[in-house]
Amino acid sequence: MAYFGNNQQRGELQELYIDLNDLNFEKKKEAIKKVIAYMTVGKDVSQLFQSVIKCLEFQDIEMKKLIYLYIVNYSRQKPDDAIMVIQNFRKDVRKSENPLVRALAIRTFGCLRVPKLNEYLIEPLKDCIQDDDPYVRKTAVLCVPKVFEVSPELCPAILEQLQKLLEKESNALVLANLIQSMREIEVLYGKQLIILNPKIIQKLLLAVDECIEWGQIFILDYLATHDPVDSKQAETIIERSLPRLSHINPTVTFCAVKLILKYLDYLDNGDLVKNLCKKISPSIISLLSWNQPEIQYTILRNISLILQKFPILFENEVKVFFCSFNEPYYIKYEKLEIMVRICDSKNFLQVLNELKIYINEADPHFVRKTIKSIGKIAIMYDKALQEAVTILIEFAKNVQQANEPVQELFIQMQILYRKNRYLYKSNDSLKILFNILEYANEPEAKSACAWIVGEFAEFIPKSVEKMQEYIDHFLLEDRLVQLQLLTSGVKLYIKYPSLCSALIQQLINSAKDSFNPDVRDRTYIYWRLLSTDPELVKNLVCYQVKGSQQFQKDIRLWETKDLIIALENMGSISNLFHKLPNQLYKNIKVRNNHQKEAKIYKVDDKLESPSKEQQIKNDQQNQPPQQNQDLDLLNFEEPASNNNQSNNKNKIDVYDLI
């Protein structure tokens, strides 16, 4: 460490030059160490390039390591001088009896990244690929992707040589690194290079047992991208991979899980698929027992992906994803998402009771996500509606300030009311919500409040006064709120024409001068409809669906065409962001998959959606009469209603009012 001191004497480069050219070996070695020390702290010692490379004539491996480090650092600055090193490289690769020296030379060659040097070093690289020592072969195959990235036009012959090596190689370490190198080249080249046959697959499966952990990861990860020929081959590969499910390394375990999940699609035996799912589930759950939250987060992000194709895996393991008080919030957020995905008609009460506890957490963002999760479950399962409303209304009773959870409360209550209008009767929910409407300050929450006031105006004593407050600040509101205020204002006018004549006049006067074209268009549409046929407006805007509407919240992460690609890349950085590799990295080319549709493995009652025939029948029953089919295309609500006939006699012509 004495070489890193700050007392640098004058003419130090001249002294180093003299020592490097001295006949004494020890002085040369000491000078090389000083050069590397100066290079490490950032001092420019490139002037000594010629003197340094002359020292390669000595066979001392320690000195060679230092010199090769120097050459890698300065070869890009002095490519013309670096050509002088070629002969030394060739000499070390072909004539040295020490395999460490041969491997060191070829590894340094791969790190040069100088295009004009590569053409001189292709032949030594070919020699190293055929070397008798497995360590040299391993180093050589790892060097090929580096050369291919800089000079791909020089590599066709080497790529053919790698394929031949794959067929005859017997060393597990070389095989694992060979697979990884060829996969890296495939990513850069955009075409498949590895051609597998039963013999090579058998060789790779045998190598898994002999490899270190990194080698097992490389082989299992590649086999997970392979499409087996038939069910028998898939079953064989799965059988040889099962012991990896209990490996101590979480990455090895996860690679085995990815491989088995991929090959389940190719199995013909349904009982075998169920048994394998029962074996996979405990292995994935065991990974969550690691104390490192980073590993837990990675596993949870991939579980969200797995559940889209394999919801059957964790159908009885919902308790595993319950949140602990001392977990980081990014872990809790993922567990919330997973709980919603594995919730079904059997365990929804258990999940809702757990979410009820989370509502009292201190973190407002976590509480907001909890409320949103409760709403999702209620949307998916009709039986959960009443319990979800009860939980949300209990929370609303304790609201004392405007915060994130309150905003989400209004949004979710609007969604639940739209699914089943008669929920307003439960637990005085309308009265409680009306008392805290003033706490809505986000556009979506305000829009939800405006919808509630307009939809249930006849059950809210001061609905007209509240709507008047909104309209007084109409031009200051967000576009989403303005559009909803227009629809809700028209609903109020239809229900109370005498009380709301001035209100609707003020609303139309304010909206027709809005800077937003959507707001102006909707205003003029309502204005013309009210002035020509108020009965039609009533049928459009106030339409009520009897019973519970059949709609579900889409909680998919991926489209079907992308799901297979995402599953093949489980465990990668792109899946942490829930993106495809080519969406995250511009130079990545996604491998074409011949499988067109993803087979979904789920229990029979996983979803409560009706059959197609029943759905068509329900839609036909719920259709309004033919004369009411002129829907408001600018109204983004549910279809309108023909109820509330009591106020028809008190119509006021809005056109005349304005």
pTM for the predicted model, two decimal places: 0.74
Q: By the 8 A CB rule, do 220 and 211 touch? A: no
Q: Please report the pLDDT score of residue 574 as a whole number.
A: 84
Q: What percent of the chain has pLDDT over 70?
A: 85
Q: Please report the pLDDT score of residue 545 as a whole number.
A: 62
Closest CA to 471 of 485, 484, 454, 483: 485
Contacts made by residues 51-54, CB under 8 angstroms, sequence distance 24+: 51/16, 51/17, 51/20, 51/21, 52/20, 53/81, 53/84, 53/85, 53/88, 54/20, 54/21
Mean pLDDT over residues 231-243, rounded? 92
Q: How far is CA 629 from CA 405, 491, 543, in A?
A: 38, 18, 11
Task: Kindly report, residue by residue over 26-54, the tens digit of the pLDDT.
Answer: 888 888 888 888 888 888 888 888 888 88
Distance, C-alpha 126 to centroid of its chain:
41
CA 371/CA 534 separation, integer angstroms:
39
Q: Please report the pLDDT score of residue 620 as a whole number.
A: 46
DSSP string, 250-279: HHHHHHHHHHHHHHGGG---HHHHHHHHHH
| Percentage helix, strand, coil for the chain under 3-state DSSP, each rounded to 5 | 70, 0, 30
- Collapse the DSSP code of 343 into the 3-class scheme (helix H, G, I; strand E, B; otherwise coil) and give the result: coil
Q: Please report the pLDDT score of residue 349 as a whole number.
A: 92
The beta-strand segments (E) located in 68-214 are none
Query: Which of these ranges, 157-161, 563-567, 585-589, has the smallest mean pLDDT?
Result: 585-589
What pLDDT band is residue 622 in, cutting at 50, 70 and 90?
A: very low
Query: Which of these ranges, 110-124, 277-291, 332-346, has the smallest mean pLDDT?
Result: 110-124
What pLDDT band is residue 331 in, cutting at 50, 70 and 90?
A: very high
Task: Kindly report, residue by residue over 71-112, the tens digit of the pLDDT.
Answer: 888 877 777 777 777 777 788 887 778 888 888 888 888 887
Residue 593 has pLDDT above 60, yes or no: no
What pLDDT band is residue 555 in, cutting at 50, 70 and 90?
A: low
